[in-house]
């Protein structure tokens, strides 16, 4: 019988890395927790669903085209995005969700012995991709629930290639203002690639929030991530993109896997662009939902963190994993935050009013029980 010599074949950095185990499908979870319905408040999805034009594009996608490879580089979508932002299409790359474009950047610039710098309590995929690719992730503690710009600059050394800033931060919602971001970019002075992940930018209405795509001409080492998963509700189609200077994007393009973004995703994403009404409807739902949720949680004596974005973090007097299981038994799925290095907290996605009311009622019952 043949055996595989895994001890010799598997690199050390893969041995020490633990695989992320995603949650099971809703139908399986409902059987496991014996609940008849499941409200998803765990992944910051948009409960309004995709804009009408995107729904139409998906409904009209011709089934015979499923047999044909999509545009390998999202040709038409890149041109539409370039028109929107006043860029050259070659300044944009489209990927299979944020995870893929993160990998594009790290693979393009890091080699053995290099590192990335980011926060310790932020979107974990920056850290994961670096670590399972064999590079060090240097993690800087948050300060007042936001990225600490001074500490991040101090963490940069001669082997730092990429700095990741999530703006606004997931899961805290805190953001850097235009002034603060430009000061950071000036201090880096082009010596490293600075990635600003703007996955939640469409939710932000603060006047001092930076539109980083407008800064690319001024800072050619700046790379900006955006997604169609959150505001535009195409999370199930897995499509995001990055923008940067032509020189930097040309380097990143060399690490891309073409044909990774499917045809329906490209069609739906193009249909989303320019739908201002969808953005306004979603912002209104988030604004009203946050007001309701924060007031109810405050009345229960619970503290919250809710900067920008479509989510609220809640500090609990009980273990967050225990709260997760008890809420699941009542058909409500939240994000337990121990994995984000916030033990004792949960993150709750803003949803429609009746769903938030069900969450508040269930949480009150659980806390009374405990």
pLDDT tens digits along 266-284: 999 999 998 999 999 999 9
User: Quick one: 36 and 152 in the same domain?
Assistant: no
State yes or no: pLDDT of 59 exceeds 90.
yes
Domain membership flag for residue 59: yes
State yes or no: pLDDT of 9 exceeds 90.
no
Is the CA virtual torsion 80, 85, 88, 92 positive or negative? negative
pLDDT tens digits for range 310-332: 999 999 999 999 999 999 999 99
User: Quick one: 65 and 119 in the same domain?
Assistant: yes
User: Quick one: 252 and 203 in the same domain?
Assistant: yes
Structure tokens at 355: 């769903």
Quote the domain boundaries for residue 162.
52-272
State yes or no: pLDDT of 5 exceeds 90.
no
CATH number, domain of 319, equals 3.90.1150.10
Asked which of 242, 272, 302 is the last residue of a domain, the reply is 272
Q: What percent of the chain has pLDDT over 70?
A: 100
User: Quick one: 155 and 220 in the same domain?
Assistant: yes
User: Quick one: 84 and 181 in the same domain?
Assistant: yes
User: Quick one: 177 and 195 in the same domain?
Assistant: yes
State yes or no: pLDDT of 15 exceeds 90.
no
- Sheet holding 193-197: strands in order across? 92-95, 240-244, 222-227, 193-197, 160-166, 115-119, 136-140
Q: pLDDT at position 13, please?
A: 86
State yes or no: pLDDT of 367 exceeds 90.
yes
User: Quick one: 42 and 58 in the same domain?
Assistant: no
């Amino acid at each position: 019988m043949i055996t595989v010599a895994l001890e010799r074949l598997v690199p050390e950095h893969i041995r020490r890395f633990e695989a992320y185990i995603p949650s099971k499908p809703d139908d399986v979870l409902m059987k496991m927790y014996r609940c008849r319905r499941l409200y998803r408040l765990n992944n910051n999805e948009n409960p309004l669903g995709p804009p009408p034009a995107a729904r139409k594009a998906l409904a009209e996608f011709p089934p015979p085209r499923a047999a044909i490879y999509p545009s390998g580089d999202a040709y038409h979508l890149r041109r539409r995005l370039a028109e929107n932002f006043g860029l050259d299409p070659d300044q944009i790359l489209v990927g299979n969700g944020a995870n893929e474009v993160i990998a594009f950047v790290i693979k393009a610039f890091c080699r053995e012995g290099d590192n990335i710098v980011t926060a310790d309590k932020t979107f974990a995929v920056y850290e994961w991709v670096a670590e399972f690719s064999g590079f060090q992730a240097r993690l800087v503690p948050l300060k007042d629930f936001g990225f600490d710009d001074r500490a991040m600059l101090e963490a940069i050394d001669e082997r730092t290639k990429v700095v990741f800033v999530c703006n606004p931060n997931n899961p805290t919602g805190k953001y850097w203002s235009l002034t603060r971001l430009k000061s950071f970019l000036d201090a880096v002075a082009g010596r490293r690639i600075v990635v600003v992940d703007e996955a939640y930018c469409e939710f932000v209405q603060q006047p001092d929030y930076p539109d980083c795509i407008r800064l690319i001409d001024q800072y050619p080492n700046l790379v900006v991530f955006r997604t169609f998963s959150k505001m535009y509700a195409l999370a199930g189609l897995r499509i995001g993109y990055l923008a940067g200077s032509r020189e930097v994007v040309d380097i990143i393009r060399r690490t891309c896997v073409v044909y990774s973004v499917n045809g329906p995703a490209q069609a739906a994403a193009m249909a989303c662009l320019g739908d201002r009404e969808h953005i306004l409807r979603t912002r209104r739902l988030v604004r009203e939902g946050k007001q309701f949720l924060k007031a109810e949680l405050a009345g229960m004596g619970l503290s919250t963190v809710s900067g920008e974005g479509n989510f609220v973090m809640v500090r609990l007097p009980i273990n967050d994993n225990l709260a997760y299981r008890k809420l699941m038994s009542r058909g409500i799925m939240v994000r337990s935050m121990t994995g984000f290095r916030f033990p004792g907290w949960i993150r709750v996605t803003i949803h429609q009013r009746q769903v938030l009311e069900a969450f508040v009622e269930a949480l009150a019952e659980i806390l009374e029980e405990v």
